Structure 1
Amino acid sequence: MKRLGLFLLLLLAACTGSQEPPLPALVAAGSGSEVRFYRAQDLQAGTAGPVATWSTPGLQDLAYSNAFQRLYLLFPDRVEAYSTAGFTGDAAPQDAPAVAPFPADCTGGYLRLGQNRLLAHCPAAGQAFLLTLPDPGTPQAADLTGLPPGVRLALFPQGAQDLLGYLTQQALGYRPALNPTGTPSLETPLDPLPSQGPFDLQADRNQGRLLGLAATATEVRLYVLEGNALTSRKVLGDFPQPSRLALDPVGGGVAYGPGFQVLFPKDPGPQQPFKTYTAGLVGQDGYLYLVQGTGLEVYDLVPSAPVLVRSLSLGFSPQSLAFIPVE
């Protein structure tokens, strides 16, 4: 019943976004040394006081699973999984986590959630690890045979499987994570070929597609693999820089870096082209949260063009964000 109630709240928020009663939620903001938890409604109102702060020295990335009510923290030597069942609008208690140690250094790594697995990609070590959900056990090494060092990875659900999605400077594709020659698999060459990146890769599970960002000498390109078809288009204006994706199946999708651009459900074109954003989050509440240095901007995504509702200082520089619905 608890999950059903949460699901109904998410559907309500999806209908008209910020025009409905606000969805109770916390925004987790992680830097290399701590995670701060803010009420989403407080950020929308311009208040930057966290309801809780965790000390997390060495934090590389974080990710939240709505399905399993778990917050995952990536460190150079391990992943920690925390239940969020006890989180409220006033508290984020740090209970004892489930811990999965790594056999390799994951400094500079990142996390990607699938439906049954969690992927930790450790580019500097040339390795990636699969962990079971909800509580990770012994990591399994993904088979990266044939993939170049600069590859970006994501988990791409098909049926009951979590396939390994990958983006290189030559191709976008997917294959079984433990068997590179297995099926189902697909690889399509990029057109045009990028000369910078790849920067990011994310799975849009609702639409069954992979979205990736890379750049030519003159522009950032969004590459989309849906079914057997690959399409690409220019995004984010005329100044190619490292860029990232923020996707939520309810709230929408955004590319950000040199400015930002809403990709779906509505695309009014590039916004704020002279700003550089380093972390971003699309919440199920219909708001976009973007970090620039120690500052946070909050945009309402419901109007046809995004509307800036608040700009505030957080007093630290988050590298990753997560949206955690609470009751």
Structure 2
Amino acid sequence: MRRLGLLLPLLFPLLWGCTGSQEPPLPALVAAGGEGEVRFYRARDLQGGTALPVTAWSTPDLQDLAYSNALGTLFLLFPDRVEAYPTQGFTENAAPQGTPTLASLPADCAGGYLRLGQRALLAHCPGAGRAFLLALPGLGTPQEADLTGLPLEARLALLPQGVLDLLGYLTREALGYRPPLDPGGTPRWERPLDPLPAQDPFDLRTDGSRLLGLAATFQEVRLYTLQGNDLQSRRVLGDFPGEARLALDPVGGVVVYGRGFQTLEPRDSGHRETFRTYTAGLVGQDAYLYLARGPALEVFDLFPSPPLLLRAVGLGFSPRSLAFIPVE
């Protein structure tokens, strides 16, 4: 017993490190985009119950934002362009806007969204029925993805495979991937969804090795996970088949949110907060879950099971997208 007592102080840092409960907290900013601006908050302030932004950028007509940790770059999508901002000068006390790299889009991308690959950034403009690939890190001239055969409601993402970024897609009937500029080329793969009534595709994302998609029937929301050629599906969010989205981080975990939320990784929490509707979500590298419902932001520690609600703070505006930016 004495030997076990001596070991416990050494084991606890290993058990709690790299979790939502870690000490000290990971220095980071949370970028919240919506209503024509991007506000930057210290992650540790949000965890502590305060929401005073470090700074705010004026970004009229902002549609979406995405952060690449590998490139240290924040990407902003507007109806007519994509802007890229390096974040090397960001600290917990400053997020200087600087001068962006800019790429014009040859289509109206109002209502569009961004998806990161390893070598390209995808800007999907569903209203125009078009999507564009921007080479990383410099954006360059957009290349139009070939969406032949894909319906307007399809959700898209980029799936890294070797040195390629394949175009992943989720429709009402199928999940698949193919070369973005050559629909008939290889490697390509497609499989029908479960034999259920036609499903509305809500979201499609990748964590680098898997495609994860959400679709719903009148009865349920289903998560489809493709790894290699193995496609699995499961029901999520209980009896609430409303619109849903994914928040994920390769280290932090995977969460489905909409009418309530459900943590799937690192542990299945079951359906939580069933009477709340969340409109933006983020799983940080610090293993905290950030969920926005209108102007309120809730912060959960993902280490306990079920996740522990730490704080609910008022932001003063309603973000549509969130990003986690580690800083020095």
TM-score using structure 1 length: 0.94
Deviation at 1:166, TM superposition (A): 0.2
What is the CA–CA distance in structure 1 between the aligned matches of 2:47 and 2:279, rounded to whole Å?
19
Distance 1:257 1:98, change over 3 A: same
Q: Does 1:146 align with 2:146?
A: no
Equivalent residue letter for 2:118: Q
1:177 equivalent among 180, 186, 192? 180
- How many Å apart are 1:264 and its aligned residue? 1.0
Q: CA deviation at 1:135?
A: 2.2
Query: The residue matched to 1:19 in structure 2 has which SS?
Result: coil
C-alpha distance in structure 1 between counterparts of 2:298 and 2:20, whole Å:
17
Alignment partner, residue 307 of structure 1: 308
Range moving further from structure 2, 48-57 or 268-277: 268-277
Q: Kindly provide the CA deviation profile for residues 66-121 of structure 1, in whole angstroms up to 9, marking residues without a partner as x.
A: 00010000000000000101000000001000000011000000000001100000
- TM superposition shift of 1:12: 11
Alignment partner of 1:60 is 2:63: yes
User: How do residues 57-136 of structure 1 correspond to structure 2 at under 5 angstroms?
Assistant: 57-136=60-139
Which residue of 40, 45, 49 corresponds with 2:43?
40
Distance (whole Å) between structure 2 residues aligned to residue 19 and residue 230 of structure 1: 34
* 2:189 matches 1:186: yes
Q: Encode CA deviations 1:162-195: one digit per residue, 9 max, x unaligned.
A: 0000000010000001111111110000004353
Residue type matched to 1:119 in 2? L
In the alignment, is the contact (CA less than 8 A) between 1:169 and 1:193 conserved in 2? Answer: no
How much does 1:227 deviate?
A: 1.7
CA contact (8 A) 2:221 2:235 kept: yes
Matching of residues 173-252 of structure 1 within 5 Å: 173-205=176-208, 208-252=209-253
User: 1 CA distance for matches of 2:140 and 2:197?
Assistant: 37
Q: Which amino acid aligns with 1:267?
A: D
Contact 2:292 2:319 in 1 (8 A): yes
Taking structure 1 as reference, are residues 12 and 93 closer, same or farther at Cα in structure 2, changes over 3 Å only?
farther
Shift of 1:218: 0.8
> Match of 2:194, SS?
coil
Instruction: Give, in whole Å, the separation in 2 of the partners of 1:260 and 1:234.
Output: 13
Percent of residue pairs identical = 71
With the length of structure 2 as denominator, give the TM-score of the two structures.
0.94
Quick check: 2:18–2:286 contact (8 Å CA) kept in 1? no
Q: Shift of the alpha carbon at 1:13?
A: 8.7
Q: 2:34 aligns to what?
A: 31
Higher alpha-carbon deviation: 236-245 or 52-61 = 236-245
Q: Distance in 2 between matches of 1:160 and 1:285?
A: 29
1:287 aligns with 2:288: yes
* CA distance in structure 2 between the aligned counterparts of 1:313 and 1:287, rounded to whole angstroms: 18
Partners of 1:260 and 1:121 lie apart in 2 by 25
- 1:20-41 Cα shifts (integer Å, max 9, x gaps): 3100000000003000000000
Tell me: CA distance 1:158–1:12, structure 2 relative to 1, closer, same or farther (3 Å). farther
Alpha-carbon distance between aligned partners in 1 of 2:161 and 2:255, rounded to the nearest angstrom: 23
Give, in whole Å, the separation in 1 of the partners of 2:196 and 2:168: 18
Q: Give the match for residue 7 of structure 1.
A: none
Query: Does the 8 Å CA contact 1:222/1:232 hold for their aligned counterparts?
Result: yes
Kept in 1: contact 2:173–2:198 (CA 8 A) = no
Q: 1:19: how far off?
A: 2.6
* Count of residues in Structure 1 that have an aligned counterpart in Structure 2: 315
- Aligned-partner SS, 2:44: helix
| Gap runs ≥5 in structure 1 | 1-10
- Aligned partners of 1:221 and 1:232 also within 8 Å: yes
Alignment partners' CA distance in 1, 2:188 and 2:70:
26
- Would the alpha carbon gap of residues 14 and 153 (structure 1) be closer, same or farther in structure 2, given more than 3 Å must change? farther
1:159 alignment partner, one of 162, 167, 170: 162
Aligned to 1:263: 264
Q: For the aligned residues, what is the CA RMSD?
A: 1.4
For residues 261 and 23 of structure 2, the distance between their equivalents in structure 1, rounded to whole angstroms, comes to 25
Contact 2:84–2:100 (8 Å) recurs in 1: yes
**CA displacement, residues 214-235 of structure 1 (integer Å, 9 cap, x when unaligned):** 1111111111112212111110
Q: Distance in 1 between matches of 2:116 and 2:153?
A: 20
Aligned partners of 1:194, 1:204: CA distance in 2, in Å? Answer: 28
